[in-house]
Amino acid sequence: MTIDVERLREDFPILKREVHGKPLVYLDNAASAQKPRAVLDALDHCYRTEYANVHRGVHTLSERATARYEQARRSVQRFINAASQQEVIFVRGTTEAINLVARSLGDTGLSEWDEILITGMEHHSNIVPWQMLCERTGAALRHAPINDRGELIMEDFYQLLGPRTRLVALTHVSNALGTVNPVRELVAAAHAQGALVLIDGAQAVPHFRVDMQALGCDFYAFSGHKLYGPTGIGVLYGRLEQLQRLRPMQGGGDMISQVTLERSEYAELPHRLEAGTPHIAGVIGLGAAVEYLETLDAAALQDHEQALLEDATTRLQVIPGLRIIGTAQHKCSVISFVVEGMHAHDIGTILDSGGVAVRAGHHCSMPVMQRFGIPATTRAAFAFYNTHAEVEQLVQAIGQAQQLLSGKQQAVS
Amino acid sequence: MSALSQLYQDVVIDHNRSPRNFGRMQEPDRTAEGYNPLCGDQLILYLRFDPEGYVSEVMFDGSGCAISVASASLMTEYVKGKSVAEVEHLFKCFHGMVTNAVDEPPATVGKLAVLAGVREFPSRVKCATLGWHTLRAALYGDTGHVSTEDKGGE
Ligand SMILES: Cc1ncc(COP(=O)(O)O)c(C=O)c1O
């Protein structure tokens, strides 16, 4: 099955704009994705016509807003095939989700005997909270290394995984390398050792459908803004029995059932972990994003993205001096690369002047940069609304950057 | 000229490809390290004073984007023979120029005016000033690390 990309692009108003007088070629999707009209309309509708606080009013607007809010939770539940709505906790994003788990785990008592296992391809948000946890508790942080292709070295992972491992925290898809990890296998192995598993799904959910019940992980975190939804909203999925063990990171309104001046009883899940007035519009917008995605053929979108990845890989790797960082066998449509004699920052600026938006830097994955001995990469991350013509524009723009920085050509205006 | 060709002028390209005063200095009077964590640019600056306290030699080493390398390279040429006060004044003029605080590059910046195009690229100001911040750290004997992120932006 094929998709009509031009028609899909109509759903994303921003894709029509120009940058520096050139049509926008938006290839920074791994940092944040653009929003379809369905999401923009849902946000607008929320604030214009059905806005009030949730879970507290008896008036019409509050009931409407609450219904929309909880409908969004059901949509997310369906989208990730969680067993129950109670397993979907709304948080600020992936970062907050991971911090919530790390903080709560510390409260339940870790000792110097315990270990947390991560991998060498994690985003800082799946490293720093664990370092902080280990600092607080004395537990040890271990990391499984990656090979030259940017794949997890399975033997090393299994070696590091043991009876001391309390939790394995790993990314489903690497934001810096595009690598897709064999999470199902890793979850099974971790569970066999009695360890919990948290998966950072920030870069996975935008590219393919995930199934919590099939995956069997204990926690799964992702951000709305990378999934074509609003900023400031994300999801912590947790298996019910694991979420029940988590101590709330924040206390306040909405998360209690009974409060006296001396003590409080906490509310049931999911509210127990959602203290305070939530990001109501954000949740409704995220609901609209996953409902929009459900109208599309996920397999066809994935095929299209894979075709873009293949096309871009083929075209980029023949550019003299260009080296792709991250050549795993299983990849999402994310390509990091370095070009001899050119710094990523300069490439980013020059590409931008041609309307091509890419990310230049360490992508919040400094350990990955260290592993490959480079300060930074340029990263092109394709979404389903990108086209083969845009791959061509990327290739052309890199050629121009090379000319310009080699001093062989004046910048074209 | 387009903003891009204003930024990557021939002089800038040339200084990036063959930076002046580049490498490690033996027995410097002062050194300082500068770092831009956003892009991984890293440079070490070496400094020697003459007996009167004027800057007699400056060298730098490290890696970075074309703008930070060219800017550091141009800077090392320009500050040689100047007093600490003169360097400080020059830094202020240069900083004003790249942050768009002044309309025209002041005459004091001389050849450094080739970097005036940076003002059209706010995200690149830190690149252009990394060498300067590091130089000042060395001048004032502040031999720790300078990070572009410690300053709350430019
Ligand atoms: C793999 C991965 N994990 C975590 C994050 C953090 O997401 P957020 O900044 O939305 O919390 C990102 C996004 O930058 C990411 O790519």
Q: Rounded distance, CA A11 to CA A33, Å?
A: 13
CA separation, residue A365 to residues A264, A382, A402 (Å) = 40, 19, 26
Task: Clarify whether residues A267 and A118 are in a common domain.
Answer: yes
What's the token pair of residue B72? 């550091």
**A306 and A281 together in one domain:** no
Residue A67 and residue A156 in one domain: yes
Same domain, A65 and A197: yes
**Rounded Cα–Cα distance for residues A338 and A377 (Å):** 5
Of the three residues A270, A294, A318, the one that is the final residue of a domain is A294
A183 and A225 share one domain: yes
Where in the sequence numbering do the catalytic residues of A fall? 364
Q: What is the whole-number distance in angstroms between the Cα of residue B45 and the centre of ligand 1?
A: 35
Distance CA A230, CA A215 (A): 26
If DSSP codes are grouped into helix, strand and coil, which group holds residue A3? coil
CATH number at residue A211: 3.40.640.10
Distant-in-sequence, close-in-space partners of A128: CB < 8 Å, separation ≥ 6 = none
Contacts with B37 from chain A: Cβ below 8 Å: 362
Cα–Cα distance, B147 to B142 (Å, whole number): 12
User: Cα–chain-centroid distance for residue B15?
Assistant: 12
Q: Give yes or no: residues A289 and A304 share one domain.
A: no
Residue corresponding to tokens 């050849």: B111
pTM summary value:
0.94
pLDDT in tens, chain A (413 residues): 679 999 999 999 999 999 999 999 999 999 999 999 999 999 999 999 999 999 877 899 999 999 999 999 999 999 999 999 999 999 999 999 999 999 988 777 789 999 999 999 999 999 999 999 999 999 999 999 999 999 999 999 999 999 999 999 999 999 999 999 999 999 999 999 999 999 999 999 999 999 999 999 999 999 999 999 999 999 999 999 999 999 888 899 889 899 999 999 999 999 999 999 999 999 999 999 999 999 999 999 999 999 999 999 999 999 999 999 999 999 999 999 999 999 999 999 999 999 999 999 999 999 999 999 998 999 999 999 999 999 999 999 999 999 999 877 654 44
Co-location of A341 and A281 in the same domain: no
User: What number does the ligand 1 atom closest to the CA of A30 have?
Assistant: 16
Written as six digits, the tokens of A327 are 């050549």
Number of domains in chain A: 2
Please tell me whether residues A70 and A121 are part of one structural domain: yes
Burial class (CB in 10 A: 0-12, 13-18, 19+), B146: buried
Nearest one of A126, A129, A121 to A175, comparing CA atoms = A121
Q: A273 in helix, strand or coil?
A: helix
Q: Which residue among B16, B38, B64 sits closest to A361, beta carbon to beta carbon? A: B38
Domain ranges (residues) in chain B: 3-147
B134: CA distance to ligand 1 center in Å? Answer: 32
The answer on A167 and A60 residing in a single domain is yes
Domain that holds residue A377: 5-31+297-412
Residues A148 and A233 grouped into a single domain: yes
My answer on whether A195 and A289 are in the same domain is yes
Mutate one of A22, A342, A346 to test the B interface: name it (highest B CB count within 10 A): A346
**B3-147 has CATH 3.90.1010.10 classification:** yes
Determine the distance in angstroms separating the CA of B115 from the nearest CA of chain A, rounded to an integer.
14
CATH value at residue A337: 3.90.1150.10
Crossing angle of the two packed helices A388-405 and B10-17, in degrees rounded to 10: 80
Determine whether the interchain pair B65/A346 forms a contact, defined as Cβ–Cβ distance below 8 Å: yes
Both A24 and A53 in one domain: the answer is no
